[in-house]
Amino acid sequence: MDLAHALAAGLGAGGAALVGGYLLQRTRRTETGAVVAARSDWDLAEMLVTDGVLTEATPQARRLLDCRRDERLGWRDIRAALEPSFGPLPDAPPRSPVILQALDDPQTLLRLTPEDAELRMTITTPPTGSGDLLRYRTDQRELAQLRRVVTRAPMPIWQTDADRRVVWSNAGFADLCAQAGLPDHSVPPFAILPDIGEEYHVTRSSIGSRAENSQAWFEVQSYRLPDGWLHYAQSIDAVIHAEIAQRNFLQTLTRIFAHLPIALAVFDRDRRLVLFNPALVDLTGLAADFLSARPNLLSFFDMLREKRMMPEPKDYGGWRDTLRDVIAAASTDQYIETWNLASGLTYRVTGRPHPDGGVAFLFEDITAEISLTRRFRQEIEVTQAVLDSLDDAVAVFSQLGVLSFCNAAYRDMWGGDPDGSLADTDIADASRLWQAGCDPSPIWPDLRDFVLTLRDRAGWDAELTRQDGQTLTLRAEPLVGGSTMVRFSGPVGRPGASLAESRQARA
């Protein structure tokens, strides 16, 4: 913004110096020391207009009009060059003498003197000292530099008067008008209406590009001047496209989250709620208008506590400190807790870091999962208790031949605790243990094949003799899902098919 002010101030000061310099006349000192104005053709700004066309002009006059020696300007061009310094001129060359004062210097005069069909125009100025001349030359160099800077500025710059008409603009503004399809550069393509008391105004607006059939977006910054406004336009197409993409992405996420059974609450870096889905209303019982008001994180958890949708803290005074630890843990992706509510529901609450310093909390109702787990655990405990109550030693192997569980009689008979071991016990390990504790028998390879086979199977019995002389009956029975139960009983085993009969049934 400092560069913008410097450009505006520099242009104004340079322009004034240039116009004043055009009107300057050199001075010379007489022998008595008095300063008088030299009136040579080089110093005099005088021009002759014949039938409304410039026919003669001194070098100073041509510098003021910014025209070549052989160029013939019309009255309209002469008026446009002189009106910024002397104010409105007549629409046509006057037929009677007229004297006009410069707007910013009453001692500088423009004399319009009709002479038959001609009009002589003479500009007289007060004497000028050498200091003013040197200052003028310095300002000329600065003005040339500022002109180059403004001409090459990558943004449109223009100035409007009190009537909102363009009185000055750079090349970027001309390109902007061409893009908007406006041949008249005196009217800006944007409707900028600052308030009366404003010194600075920002406007976002767009123009249609006829060539590309698209919209070009600009942010216009306007600064008040004594006689109007100075405007700077900057392209913000990238910003607009990013905002549209972000809004579309957010809408897509909202539609996706709307169908999720997991409640979602996203807080920004200021810890205010910026996104939630309908499941949050369903699971927590919080009012939608409360959530839409973007509460902060502490208010959100306070409302959860009031609704009894979170475990009641033992010390609520220390709960705020605990909550800060929760937020810190969630910001580092290290927060996950299970909330057992007084209503019997069970929620899993997970905290995850969100981009740009935010944090997201997910609330999942795992009541059914917890109930199923508890019921399954209870069934396992009952099954284990039933097996432990049996006198027979029982071992169950999975379809892959891994020992799933065994009962107390098995542990007493064969020693050790396979369930408490970190390493899995498979049928090969177990059969080696059994084989080592019994007299030689040909059933062990068949037993291992029976446990690992994927074909239809039929249960079978075999008689074994332990090395201590005890007689055992081994019973191998297929179970649901490809599992196998191996049972060892006393001398009077459960009636069943022999190994040979089982082989014959499988064959």
- Pair 175, 254 in one domain: no
pLDDT range class, residue 388, cuts 50, 70, 90: confident
- Pair 359, 400 in one domain: no
**Side chain identity at 295, as an amino acid letter?**
P
Domain assignment present for residue 295? The answer is yes
Report the share of the chain in percent with pLDDT over 70: 85
Domain assignment present for residue 171? The answer is yes
- Pair 74, 158 in one domain: no
pLDDT tens per residue across span 205-223: 888 765 556 788 999 999 9
pLDDT tens per residue across span 70-120: 888 899 889 888 888 888 888 889 989 999 988 888 888 999 999 888 999
Domain assignment present for residue 17? The answer is no
What pLDDT shows up at residue 422? 66
Residue position matching structure tokens 């009217």: 187
- Pair 277, 327 in one domain: yes
Domain assignment present for residue 320? The answer is yes
Can you give the CATH number for the domain in which 473 is found?
A: 3.30.450.20
Domain assignment present for residue 374? The answer is no
What pLDDT shows up at residue 456? 86
Split into its structural domains, the chain has a count of 4
What pLDDT shows up at residue 186? 81
Tokens of 473: 């009956």
Domain assignment present for residue 20? The answer is no
- Pair 93, 161 in one domain: no
450 pLDDT higher than 70: yes
d(CA 23, CA 46): 11
- Pair 262, 358 in one domain: yes
What pLDDT shows up at residue 492? 41
Alpha-helical segments (H) within 390-442 = 408-414, 427-437
Domain assignment present for residue 335? The answer is yes
Averaged pLDDT, 307-332: 74
- Pair 176, 272 in one domain: no
Q: Under a CB-based contact definition with an 8 Å cutoff, are residues 382 and 402 in contact?
A: no
For residues 464 and 260, the model is more confident at 464
Averaged pLDDT, 450-461: 90
Cα-based distances in Å from 46 to 106, 131, 354, 400: 18, 25, 75, 114
501 pLDDT higher than 90: no
Segment (H or E) for 36: strand 35-37
Average pLDDT, the chain: 81
Domain end point (choices 191, 215, 235): 235
Crossing angle (nearest 10°) for helices 297-306 and 316-331 = 130
- Pair 407, 466 in one domain: yes
Count of residues in the chain: 507
Domain region containing 200: 154-235
Cα 42 vs. chain centroid, distance in angstroms? 65
Domain assignment present for residue 326? The answer is yes
What pLDDT shows up at residue 474? 94
pLDDT tens per residue across span 405-438: 899 999 889 887 776 666 788 999 999 999 999 9
Q: Under a CB-based contact definition with an 8 Å cutoff, are residues 435 and 447 in contact?
A: no
- Pair 220, 255 in one domain: no
> What is the secondary structure of 329-389 as a DSSP string?
HHHTT-EEEEEE-TTS-EEEEEEEEEGGGEEEEEEEE-HHHHHHHHHHHHHHHHHHHHHHH
pLDDT tens per residue across span 19-65: 344 433 333 333 333 333 444 444 688 999 998 899 999 988 888 88
- Pair 226, 254 in one domain: no
What pLDDT shows up at residue 487? 94
pLDDT tens per residue across span 141-158: 888 888 888 888 888 999
What pLDDT shows up at residue 251? 79
Q: Under a CB-based contact definition with an 8 Å cutoff, are residues 26 and 39 in contact?
A: no
- Pair 115, 190 in one domain: no
- Pair 433, 494 in one domain: yes
Can you give the CATH number for the domain in which 49 is found?
A: 3.30.450
Beta bridge mates, 48: 56, 120
